[in-house]
């Protein structure tokens, strides 16, 4: 009888799929914000995603309660460090509304002008950094070149390059420097003349389009469910912009210039296109504000305030269309010189939650493209 030989073959985990947990971040605190993504993978495909936030949390809302109405502007200025002027606006509008205060017309138009210049500065950062994340290094140099030109005029008027601290309850810190409007118009014209670099160099690049078209599609239903806003929401067909739908500052008089940019695709490419086209429109709005300021007579840019500023007892909610989306402040006052409660609703906090829905089902290779197209600032998430 012929002897038989038995062979045992160990197949380990190859017989069935095995989930792997992958942590993306957190990076070192000195980087541009610290976000951690906890991904569960099945091979190269993401099955579950969890944004883990709070690594930069400063407790700004609690600090608001221990600062007077002049000091909280500084705290509110910093949560989205790319939209500092817009952050200030929400706070001063809320306090002015509580006081029943009317801001001088010259200050209203100057605020609108500076808010749109700040919008361009914000968008240029993402227009340059997003291609960089996908392997294209050239656009970031162009973006910073244009940012420098606009930052020069913002620094001249306010004294700050990023944290302007130019808004005050009742208006602005001071009037515009002599000849500033001419220099601002020259800067706007120069930046506009070179914006085709992004149209041609980035949108005309077939690799960029291949990495972004049809990738990370965010549905309108998900936009509403997670409270996403700004260019991200409008890229999914959600046609909502506070500047048009609930006008504040001088936007009600700029309806013929203001263009709300939307797309239907909801993918990474649509989000980039919305951001780029909105940048063009912000430059047009800034020009329109300069035209209107040129026709205004000389006058005050602020209201005289008492030495100790106290808001009357009550509550109000002031929201603005910040560069990244809706930014809201819910102010509760007990009649003291400090807020009883000041709740901050930041755009990035809601926008980033949509990653829970966007990332599952996609490949790890597409994760960077999707994450970069959400256009968030981590300080705006952690507050």
Cα angle 15, 16, 22 (rounded to 5 degrees) comes to: 130
For residue 29, the model assigns a pLDDT of: 59
For residue 31, the model assigns a pLDDT of: 63
Q: What is the mean pLDDT of each run of 10 residues along the chain (383 residues)?
A: 52 57 76 82 92 86 93 91 93 95 96 97 95 91 95 94 92 94 96 92 92 94 95 96 96 96 95 96 97 93 92 95 96 95 94 92 92 90 86
Rounded to whole angstroms, how far apart are CA atoms 379 and 80? 6
N-to-C CA span, the chain: 80
270 neighbors 263 (Cβ within 8 angstroms): yes
Q: What letter would DSSP give residue 198?
A: I
What phi and psi, each to the nearest 5 degrees, are found at residue 137? -90, -25
For residue 11, the model assigns a pLDDT of: 45
For residue 182, the model assigns a pLDDT of: 96
- For the residues of 202-231, what is the DSSP string, one character each? ITT-HHHHHHHTTSS---HHHHHHHT--TH
Please state whether beta strands 167-168 and 45-52 pair in parallel, antiparallel, or not at all (unpaired).
Answer: unpaired
317 neighbors 328 (Cβ within 8 angstroms): yes
- Fold entry, domain 60-382: Cytochrome-c3 Hydrogenase; chain B (1.10.645)
For residue 94, the model assigns a pLDDT of: 96
- Furthest-apart CA atoms within the chain: distance in Å: 115
Rounded to whole angstroms, how far apart are CA atoms 188 and 146? 9
For residue 340, the model assigns a pLDDT of: 96
For residue 26, the model assigns a pLDDT of: 81
pTM: 0.91
Rounded to whole angstroms, how far apart are CA atoms 259 and 197? 21
For residue 13, the model assigns a pLDDT of: 47
Residue 323: how many other CB atoms lie within 10 Å: 29
- For the residues of 274-312, what is the DSSP string, one character each? HHHHHHHHHHHHHHHHHHHHHTSPS--SS----SS--PP
**Residue 196 neighbours by CB under 8 Å, 6+ apart:** none
For residue 57, the model assigns a pLDDT of: 83
Rounded to whole angstroms, how far apart are CA atoms 266 and 263? 7
Nearest to 271 by CA among 318, 230, 217, 232: 232
Residue 368: how many other CB atoms lie within 10 Å: 15
């Amino acid at each position: 009888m012929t002897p038989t030989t038995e062979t045992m073959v160990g197949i380990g985990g190859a017989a069935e799929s095995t989930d792997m947990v992958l942590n993306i971040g957190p990076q070192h605190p000195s980087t541009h914000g610290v976000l951690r993504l906890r991904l569960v993978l099945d091979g190269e495909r993401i099955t579950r995603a969890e944004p883990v936030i709070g690594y930069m949390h400063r407790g700004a809302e609690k600090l608001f309660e221990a600062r007077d109405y002049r000091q909280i502007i500084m705290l509110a200025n910093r949560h989205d460090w790319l939209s500092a002027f817009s952050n200030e606006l929400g706070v001063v509008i809320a306090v002015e509304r509580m006081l029943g205060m009317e801001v001088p017309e010259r200050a209203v138009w100057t605020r609108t002008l500076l808010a749109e210049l700040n919008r361009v500065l914000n968008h240029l950062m993402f227009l340059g950094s997003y291609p960089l994340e996908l392997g294209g290094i050239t656009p970031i140099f162009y973006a910073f070149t244009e940012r420098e030109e606009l930052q020069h005029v913002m620094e001249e008027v306010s004294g700050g390059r990023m944290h302007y601290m130019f808004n005050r309850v009742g208006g602005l810190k001071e009037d515009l420097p002599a000849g500033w409007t001419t220099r601002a118009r020259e800067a706007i014209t120069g930046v506009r003349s070179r914006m085709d670099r992004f149209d041609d160099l980035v949108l005309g690049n077939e690799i960029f389009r291949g990495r972004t078209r049809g990738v990370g599609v965010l549905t309108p239903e998900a936009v509403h469910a997670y409270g996403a806003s700004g260019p991200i929401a409008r890229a999914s067909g959600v046609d909502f912009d506070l500047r048009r739908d609930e006008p504040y500052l001088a936007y009600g008089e700029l309806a013929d210039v203001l263009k709300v940019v939307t797309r239907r695709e909801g993918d990474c490419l649509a989000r980039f296109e919305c951001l780029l086209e909105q940048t063009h429109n912000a430059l047009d709005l800034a020009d329109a504000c300069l035209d209107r300021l040129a026709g205004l007579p000389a006058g005050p840019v602020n209201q005289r305030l008492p030495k100790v500023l106290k808001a009357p007892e009550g509550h109000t909610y002031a929201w603005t269309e910040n560069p990244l989306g809706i930014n809201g402040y819910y102010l509760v006052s007990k009649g003291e010189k400090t807020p009883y409660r000041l709740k901050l609703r930041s755009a990035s906090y809601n926008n980033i939650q949509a990653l829970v829905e966007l990332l599952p089902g996609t490949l790890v290779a597409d994760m960077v493209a999707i994450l970069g197209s959400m256009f968030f600032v981590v300080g705006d998430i952690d507050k």
